[in-house]
Amino acid sequence: MTAANRPLKVALLGCGVVGSEVYRLLGDQAADLEARIGAPLEVAGVAVRRPARARAVAVDPGLITTDAAALVRRDDVDIVVEVIGGIEPARSLLLTALAASKAVVTANKALLAEDGMTLHNAARGAGADLYYEASVAGAIPLLRPLRESLAGDAVHRVLGIVNGTTNYILDQMDTSGAGFADALEEAQALGYAEADPTADVEGFDAAAKAAILAGLAFHTKVSPNARRHRQRARVGARGQAARDLRAERRRGVGAGVPGDDPASAPAGRGP
């Protein structure tokens, strides 16, 4: 095999709900992926905290390791895919990968919202690729258009439902009359919600996604701390350029309470 089409080695950090699907897709779609990128993708290792844990897919035991740092530092690793979540050790692992000029793919919305600039600076300094489309609305091409296609446009407002778990729960409660606990349990059984759904139902997930979207749309750092607005952030996210928000307030319009925006239901209607 020539150097031009040698296998690209992938280090997978985390093998939970998302990581298991990444591992499965890398295997099931190997031929298609190779045709698209011009080289085969091979999993070099899978870093997990609990090797004996039952998983949705059968992972080659020879690939499993508990030493994520050693896996990231391996010379044969070309791409690091991070789906463990949280701030640490994810941040340190990704910075190590970027410093070694390895391409990084992450779905870590919490880390990107909290300290995305550090990752961007590390990638820029090392000339490495940093991709995080999966961190917000992973099935929808959203972040790259904001970064690239709309880079020359002035974005005034971003609206959207960004948390599928709470959206599913509220829909079940509204359409079937299910209680919150039953709807949450069903969401977990279907794989929509994690075993620990705190980030979803407390609004942290939506707040982090809103911060990422707003940062890209308005070219500024936005804090993911949404405690004061948590109840409004559980399902949807709204971001608006400060200059436009101030103008709306002067005119006495804008989204002061639910129902102000034509894209949302009037106050008192629906969940």
Distance of alpha carbon 71 from alpha carbon 18, whole angstroms = 19
Distance of alpha carbon 211 from alpha carbon 215, whole angstroms = 6
Q: What is the sign of the dihedral through the CA atoms of 31, 32, 38 and 42?
A: negative
Q: Characterize the bridge pairing of strands 41-47 and 103-106.
A: unpaired
The angle subtended at Cα 233 by Cα 193 and Cα 111, nearest 5°, is 65
- Is 209 a catalytic site residue? yes
- Return the residue matching tokens 């701030």: 87
**Paired strand residues for 160:** 237
Contact (Cβ atoms closer than 8 angstroms) between residue 158 and residue 211: no
Q: Which of the following is catalytic: 9, 102, 209, 221?
A: 209
Q: What is the length of the chain?
A: 271
Q: Which residues are catalytic?
A: 209
